[in-house]
Amino acid sequence: MRTFIITGGTSGIGKGLAMHYLNNGDRVIAIGSSAAKGELFYEEAKKAGAQDSAIYIQADLSLVKENYRVIEEIKSRFTAIDALVLCAQYQKNTKSIIRTKENFVFSFGLYYLSRYILSYGLKDRLENASKPVILNVCAPGMKGTVNWEDLQSEKNYSNIKSIMHGSRLNDLLGVSFATNNKETKIRYILFNPGAVQTNGTMEAFEQPIMRALTKLLYKLIGSSVEKAIQPIIRLLESPPAAALSAYMKNQEVSLTMETFNNNNAQNLNKITEEYVKQI
């Protein structure tokens, strides 16, 4: 039985993938912060007859310590992990900074630090699988640069801006992971699903008018979750030969873009190591 870890596996793209693999007879460890969504995940797994292969770990992945707790729990129970799929995200359109009790910007902690810690922390369990993959669902290849003076996007904060910046950090995470682990079997895939009709995106705005407009926009331009997960499933089943690859839906994104600059990736890697050590 293969084992898939899916952060954000209780909603949207992550949940679509979780249910696909449970229906396929694989084991799925879904991670999210809400107990209620965890219960729903178990209920749906039971309806699919997959209650014995569904595991929910409740954790606030914006916290460094929580990521390490999750890694320890998974390592104590499983020797091999076939795929780590990174989908956890908070998409509410807020203009005020939320800080974690570890004093990182929440969005930076959840969208970047968590993915960094889980990618490296589960590496040895992934190496024990035959065709291991880390698939980071973000938005690779977006134009723009990393703001080194404001890595956590604190100035003129908005959650949307912070998410866009976080995606560039994830591009660099992919580059440093692949470059610094030359011997690894793990294929690191950065994946942009395009606009997808998930609760996270369609309920990003609290104001009723903005929410209605966003829903309408996503109905017009977005894909259903069912459609959006198809290229992800293809990549997980037949990972590319290269240690690192990036995709926008079915289309490969060129790694020659500036957003994948290796010097920047190494720089970010050093800074991140220091951040994580502080906790």
Ligand X SMILES: NC(=O)c1ccc[n+]([C@@H]2O[C@H](COP(=O)([O-])OP(=O)(O)OC[C@H]3O[C@@H](n4cnc5c(N)ncnc54)[C@H](OP(=O)(O)O)[C@@H]3O)[C@@H](O)[C@H]2O)c1
Give least dist CB 265 to ligand X, A: 19
Give least dist CB 263 to ligand X, A: 26
The dihedral sign for the CA sequence 35, 39, 45, 46: positive
Give least dist CB 219 to ligand X, A: 12
Rank residues 192 and 267 by Cβ distance to ligand X and give the closer one: 192
CB count in 10 Å sphere of residue 15: 25
Rank residues 120 and 247 by Cβ distance to ligand X and give the closer one: 247
Q: Which of 53, 201, 259, 272 binds ligand X (CB under 6 A)?
A: 201
Our CA dihedral for 168, 31, 99, 69, rounded to 10 degrees, sits at -110
Q: Which of 3, 33, 245, 259 binds ligand X (CB under 6 A)?
A: 33
Footprint of ligand X on 2-21 (CB under 6 A): 8, 10-14
Site size for ligand X (CB under 6 A) = 32
Region binding ligand X by CB under 6 A among candidate stretches 77-85, 178-186, 195-203, 250-258: 195-203
Q: Which of 139, 151, 246, 255 binds ligand X (CB under 6 A)?
A: 139
Give least dist CB 247 to ligand X, A: 12
Q: Which of 2, 3, 28, 32 binds ligand X (CB under 6 A)?
A: 32
Footprint of ligand X on 43-102 (CB under 6 A): 59-62, 87-91
Give least dist CB 225 to ligand X, A: 7
Give least dist CB 91 to ligand X, A: 5
**Residue 99 CB partners (closer than 8 Å, separation 6+):** 105, 106
In three-state form (DSSP H/G/I as H, E/B as E, the rest C), the secondary structure along the chain is CCEEEEECCCCHHHHHHHHHHHHCCCEEEEEECCHHHHHHHHHHHHHCCCHHHEEEEECCCCCHHHHHHHHHHHHHHCCCCCEEEECCCCCCCCCCCCECCCCCEHHHHHHHHHHHHHHHHCHHHHHCCCCCEEEEECCCCCCCCCCHHHCCCCCCCCHHHHHHHHHHHHHHHHHHHHHHCCCCCCEEEEEECCCECCHHHHCCCCCHHHHHHHHHHHHHHCECHHHHHHHHHHHHHCCCCCCEEEEECCEECCCCCHHHCHHHHHHHHHHHHHHHHCC
| Residue least distant from ligand X (Cβ) | 200
Q: Is 174 in the site for ligand X (CB under 6 A)?
A: no
Q: Is 137 in the site for ligand X (CB under 6 A)?
A: yes
Region binding ligand X by CB under 6 A among candidate stretches 116-124, 125-133, 137-145, 237-245: 137-145
Rank residues 88 and 189 by Cβ distance to ligand X and give the closer one: 88
Q: Which residues bind ligand X (CB under 6 A)?
A: 8, 10-14, 31-34, 37, 59-62, 87-91, 110, 137-139, 192-193, 195-196, 198-201
